[in-house]
Amino acid sequence: MWTVSVVVSTYNRADQLRLCIAALEAQSRPPDEVMIADDGSRPEHVRAIEAIVRSSPLRILHAWQEDLGFRLAGSRNGAVRRASGDYLFFLDGDAVLFPDSLEQHMKLSRADRWLTGDAVRLSPEETGRVTQEAILSRRLAELWPEPADPRVLKLRRFGRRFRFRMWRARLWPSERFRSRIWMWGLQMSMPRAVFERVNGFDEGFHGWGYEDKDLGLRLQLAGYPGRTVIGRSRAFHLWHEVVPRPRHNKDYFYRPRHGQFRCCRGLVQEPPPEEAQAP
């Protein structure tokens, strides 16, 4: 039986974090602890987060790091270092899980596998309808779009594409195929031992994007296949302004790996491979 640490990332969005935590409180399989990975929120948001921690029935720890730009990888690693669970569930603070989401991850969890899912993106008007009362009374299903909604159809396409690409990568295990199997950071989970083997998130990523996909690629290079929970674990993504992706993160992600699955700037700071092998 796993002990589960949920790592929730946030930055200056305490109002959305409050809804995210409410959804965790309503889980049919509650987390053993919640780690708030705070990438340097301003004082007023820190005070709001502290109020959330005090009022929640869950065990919550607030792991804050100094604001030196977008450093999601570093904030998540920092939260994991303080976490005690042997299974890690990563969740964006602007995501609201359905009540059985964590339970669905646990049903599919294995010692040699990672899991990933996505969410329906809400409009500003729809986001306003996601309230604590709706979450805690378990009425989120009333807000789920119809089966023919383009967003639901898109999720299904993502799920089919993920399964096909994972099947192809198993038949032809090349880095090129594996790099197209994307892990979505909005909701993803894995055993802590698996996360530690690849040395966690690569803190070489600065700015939004690709640090989650990089983790998924390195897990595959280490011999751990992924599975999608799309269709089983539902979630909403709350509306907010979109942050642009920096070009250097994409270039860094698509660099040749030559089978190397441990990052140097991760949970443990390590010398580059060529330095480590020097006499």
Q: CB burial class (10 A; 0-12, 13-18, 19+) of residue 216?
A: buried
Asked whether residue 14 carries a pLDDT value surpassing 90, the answer given is yes
CA dihedral 30, 163, 170, 183 (to 10 degrees): -50
Q: Give phi and psi for 121, each to the nearest 5.
A: -80, 125
Q: By C-alpha distance, which of 60, 85, 79, 71 is closest to 4?
A: 85
Q: Give phi and psi for 250, each to the nearest 5.
A: -65, -45
Token output for 64: 């804050």
The sign of the dihedral angle between the CA atoms of 29, 140, 16, 244 is positive
Q: Where are the domains of the chain?
A: 4-276
Question: What pLDDT digit, counting tens, does each position of 205-259 carry?
Answer: 988 889 999 999 999 999 999 999 999 999 999 998 877 777 899 999 999 999 9
Let me know the angle formed at the C-alpha of 94 by 89 and 99, rounded to the nearest 5 degrees. 55
Q: How far apart are CA 68 and CA 8, in angstroms?
A: 19
Q: How far apart are CA 84 and CA 170, in angstroms?
A: 33
pLDDT of residue 277: 46
Q: By C-alpha distance, which of 216, 217, 221 is closest to 259?
A: 221
Question: What pLDDT digit, counting tens, does each position of 30-70 carry?
Answer: 999 999 999 999 999 999 999 999 999 999 999 999 999 88
274 pLDDT band, cuts 50/70/90, is low
pLDDT of residue 185: 87
Residue 17: other Cβ atoms inside 10 A: 24
Minimum mean pLDDT range among 5-9, 111-115, 181-185, 217-221: 181-185
- 4-276 CATH fold: Spore Coat Polysaccharide Biosynthesis Protein SpsA; Chain A (3.90.550)
Q: Per-residue b/e over 76-96, b at no fewer than 16 CB within 10 Å?
A: bbbbbeebebebbbbbbbbbb
Q: Rounded to whole angstroms, what are the CA distances from 226 to 7, 103, 146, 157, 178?
A: 19, 18, 28, 17, 10
Q: Is the pTM of this model over 0.85?
A: yes
